[in-house]
Amino acid sequence: MLAYSCYQESAQYLRSRLEGLVPRALLILGSGLGFLGEQVEQARIIPYGEIPHFGLATAPGHESRLVCGLLWGVPVAVMQGRLHYYEGHTPEDIVYPLRVVRLLGAEYLVVTNAAGAINREFSVGDLMVISDHIRMMGDSPLRGPNLPQFGERFCDMSQVYDSDLQALALEKGRELGLSMQSGVYFYFPGPQFETPAEIRAARVWGGDAAGMSTVYEATAANHCGMRTLGLSLMTNMAAGVLNQPLSGAEVNVAAEKAQNNFTALIRAVLPELKKEERC
Ligand code: HPA
d(CA 214, CA 184): 12
Neighbours of 34 (CB within 10 A): 24
Provide the percentage of residues in the chain whose pLDDT is more than 70.
96
Per-residue pLDDT of 81-130, as tens digits, reads: 888 899 899 999 999 999 999 999 999 999 999 999 999 999 999 999 99
Say yes or no to pLDDT of 153 above 90: yes
C-beta pairs of 245-251 under 8 Å, 24+ apart in sequence:
246/116, 246/193, 248/60, 251/31, 251/32, 251/114
d(CA 207, CA 209): 6
Q: Residues lining ligand 1, judged by CB closer than 6 Å?
A: 114-116, 188, 193-194, 210-212, 235-236, 238, 246, 251
Instruction: List residues bridging with 45 in a β-sheet.
Output: 67
d(CA 46, CA 36): 16
Ligand 1, atom nearest to 239 Cα: 7
Q: Which residues of 92-107 are buried (b: 16+ CB within 10 A; e: fewer)?
A: bbbbbbbbbbbbbbbb
Report the residue among 231, 236, 247 best suited for mutation to probe ligand 1: largest number of ligand atoms under 8 A from its CB: 236
Say yes or no to pLDDT of 278 above 50: no
* 36 secondary structure, DSSP code: G
Q: Which CATH class is domain 15-140+158-269?
A: alpha beta
Say yes or no to pLDDT of 232 above 60: yes
pLDDT at 279: 42
Ligand 1, atom nearest to 212 Cα: 3
How far does the centroid of ligand 1 lie from the alpha carbon of residue 243, in Å? 16
d(CA 13, CA 105): 14
How far does the centroid of ligand 1 lie from the alpha carbon of residue 274, in Å? 32
Ligand 1, atom nearest to 236 Cα: 8
Distances (CA, A) of 232 to 22, 34, 117, 124, 193: 27, 14, 10, 11, 16
d(CA 122, CA 29): 21
Distances (CA, A) of 238 to 234, 241, 274: 9, 6, 36
Q: What are the residue ranges spanned by the domains of the chain?
A: 15-140+158-269
d(CA 113, CA 4): 28
Is the bond preceding residue 75 a cis peptide, omega within 30 degrees?
no
How far does the centroid of ligand 1 lie from the alpha carbon of residue 239, in Å? 9
Per-residue pLDDT of 126-148, as tens digits, reads: 999 999 999 999 899 999 999 99
Instruction: Indicate which residue's Cα is closest to atom 6 of ligand 1.
Output: 116
Per-residue pLDDT of 30-71, as tens digits, reads: 876 777 888 999 999 999 989 998 877 776 666 789 999 999
Nearest Cα to 67, choosing from 75, 57, 79?
79
Report the residue among 86, 124, 246 best suited for mutation to probe ligand 1: largest number of ligand atoms under 8 A from its CB: 246
3-state secondary structure of 42: strand
pLDDT at 250: 85
